Structures are given as structure tokens and as C-alpha cells.
Amino acid sequence: MSRKSKVHAADKFCRAVIDQYPNSREVADMFYRDRTITTGECPDWCALPSSYMACFIAGSTDKQDIINVHNQKAVYFLTAALIWSRSKMIYRFDNTLSDTLTVQSLEGKIPVDILDYLPYQCIYIDNDIIVGGSKTMGFFACLIGGQRTILSCFVWFF
């Protein structure tokens, strides 16, 4: 008797994104093997630069071609999908904790150095939350960028 295993929605999403770009895993693996040859100096906190994946999606090293592609969702979806696929870490919070975090105000400044201590380079938070009036299943969070000065904690919902 075969056992049917459930595939998590985050895994389905990442597979679908990566499947749209058949050679993307090989390109990411090349970056992971030798970060300095493929992109020059890349800080440790950056698991995979979005500009590197923009170059791949553009199919060009021309600066204008990369700029034209870089702000498209596909670049960020692919970058995060490739990073998350390496660890596939999913966090689920107790409803009480989730509700408490949701009502917290985001006043003040959060020191950027705190982002150096994320447990994994990309995580999926598996909690139903309401954002802008829409209920979401969860979200990915990861650090992607090319320079610490433009550091971003990229989060999106589906």
C-alpha cells in the first residue's frame, strides 16, 4: 500500500516558480560554489543576490537589460524560492503568539544587525493572517540584495 504524502503549499509554490526557469538551480549552485568569482564581493548575509538572478532571467549581462528585469516580481519570487528550497524551513506560531505579534505597533527603529541572526537564510511563516483586508496562508521572509546599504527583508504573501 502506498502512502500519499502531502506537499506543503510553500513547496508547491517554490517548485512552480523554479519550474518556470529550468536552469535556475544550476545557476544558483554555481553562485553557492564560488561566490566571489560569480559576483565579485558578496556579503555573507546575502544568500543569493537578486541582481544575479535578474541577470539570469534577462539572459544578458547588459546593465540596462538587468535593470529592466530587476524590479519584476519574478526575480524576487525565483530568488527566494531557490534560497528557501535549500533548507525548507517552515515556522508555525501558536495562535496566541501570532495574535499578540499582529497587534504590536512597529514604532521606532529596529537595528539592522538583528537581521544577521536569522535562524535560516529564508523561512516560511505558516500562519493565516490578514494583510490589507485579505487573508493569507503565510509568507516567506529572507534577506536578498547586493549591498548592505540596500538591505531588505523581503516578504510576500500568497
- pLDDT tens digits, one per residue of 60-97: 888 888 888 887 888 989 999 999 999 999 998 888 88
Higher pLDDT, 1 or 87: 87
pLDDT at 88: 95
Reference 124, options 91, 77, 155; nearest CA is: 91
Query: Tens digits of per-residue pLDDT, 13-60?
Result: 999 999 999 999 999 998 888 876 555 667 777 888 888 889 899 998
First to last CA, the chain: 34
Q: How far, in Å, CA of 52 to CA of 151, rounded?
A: 15
Q: What is the SS3 assignment for 27?
A: helix
pLDDT at 151: 35
Up-side HSE of residue 40: CA atoms within 13 Å toward CB? 4
Instruction: Calculate mean pLDDT across residues 106-121.
Output: 76
Q: Is the pLDDT of residue 147 over 70?
A: no
Q: Is the pLDDT of residue 158 over 80?
A: no
pLDDT at 142: 83
φ/ψ of residue 123, rounded to 5: -130, 155
Q: How far, in Å, CA of 65 to CA of 55, rounded?
A: 8
Q: Is the pLDDT of residue 101 over 60?
A: yes
Q: How far, in Å, CA of 73 to CA of 71, rounded?
A: 7
Q: Where are the beta strands (DSSP E) in the chain?
A: 89-91, 122-125, 129-131, 134-136, 139-144, 152-157
Going by pLDDT thresholds of 50, 70 and 90, the confidence category of residue 131 is low
Grid cell, residue 118, equals 536569522
Domain ranges for the chain: 9-87, 90-103+117-157
Give the torsion sign (CA, 118, 121, 156, 8).
negative
